[in-house]
Amino acid sequence: MHACGDPTVLSVDEVPPPGPPVGDEITARVAASSINGTDLGLRRGDVRVATWGRLPFTLGFDLAGEVVHCGPRVSAFRPGDRVAALLGHDGGAQASYAVLRQHRAARVPDRVPLESAAGVVLAGLTALQALHHVGRLGARGRGARVLVVGASGGIGCHAVQLAALAGAHVTAVASGRKLPRVREYGAHELVDRSTCDIARLDGSWDLVLDTPGTAAHAELAGLLAPGGTLVTTRPISRDVWRAAPALLPGRGKRPPSWGAVTTRARPADLAHLLHLLADGRLRSPVDRVLPLDRGAEAHAHAETEVVGKVVLSL
């Protein structure tokens, strides 16, 4: 992208290939990269300071492909290995080649298509880390009640599956025609957000995950059971302080808590997701795969009523 705006600002440019990797870097030939909310926001210019002085900017924060070169200190991979990886804030995955440090990558099992692997990286890591690292779902025992807001998005589709795999009872919030697709990912109960006020839901949950990060904290905090946790993808803001009274302990009750997930490139987490894919216990929620030269179309589709992820294929 040479400017911020609608999908027409995207173009495919011919540029020199990257130089040889150094240290513990690897060079990957990219086969697929998914479109995430970060890509859409940067392209729209939602936070223009993020691209100030950095245009043209190559989008793409996750990838799946094949290692073609290794730096002299690389110990985990060799040329020919199939890998998936989460890149840093500089992006650059939606290109023929990407250079990254080895700790950002994990091997892709042979039976996992690379387009499917690309669809699970950023969204799947966010869901896994929100549920287990921040929300401590594993410590809550089987039968824990989990509410996933935005269950039809990339993060949401992964969160529904991962929570169900952990033995949780999952209530999924999405809108209208998306609900049947969400049920396919293992939700036990469905809530139509277009006809229901979330704040008035009848019930209490041990873990509430707000995947879009757009709901008011006070609205969701009231849905927590004693000792429950509200997890958001949005950084801490003034909205949290407005929600503080709802997060204070009641007499004789364990206080609820809240936290924001910051997705980390943990290779063990990524390897776990990829093995779940290989075993058929996790489905990569890829809605559509389009070639790189149709990136503008892919972005336009990703901003519609899509369920799951849109992936660019190289």
DSSP state, 153?
A: B
pLDDT averaged over every residue in the chain: 92
- Helix, strand, or coil (residue 181): helix
Q: Is residue 312 within 8 Å of 119, Cβ to Cβ?
A: no
pLDDT of 157: 97
Domains and CATH numbers, the chain: 7-122+266-313 (3.90.180.10), 123-260 (3.40.50.720)
For residue 80, the tally of other CB atoms under 10 A from its CB is 8
Q: What is the pLDDT of residues 64-112, one digit of tens each?
A: 999 999 999 999 999 999 999 999 999 999 999 999 999 999 999 999 9
pLDDT of 6: 97
**Residue whose tokens read 């169900």:** 164
The rounded distance, in Å, linking the Cα atoms of 252 and 226 is 10
Q: What is the pLDDT of residues 275-293, one digit of tens each?
A: 999 999 999 999 999 999 9
Q: What is the pLDDT of residues 202-258, one digit of tens each?
A: 889 999 999 988 777 778 888 999 999 999 998 765 555 455 455 544 444 555 688
Tokens of 133: 């690292």
Rg, Å, the chain Cα set? 20
For residue 236, the tally of other CB atoms under 10 A from its CB is 12
Q: Is residue 205 within 8 Å of 147, Cβ to Cβ?
A: yes
Q: What is the pLDDT of residues 122-170, one digit of tens each?
A: 999 999 999 999 999 999 999 999 999 999 999 999 999 999 999 999 9
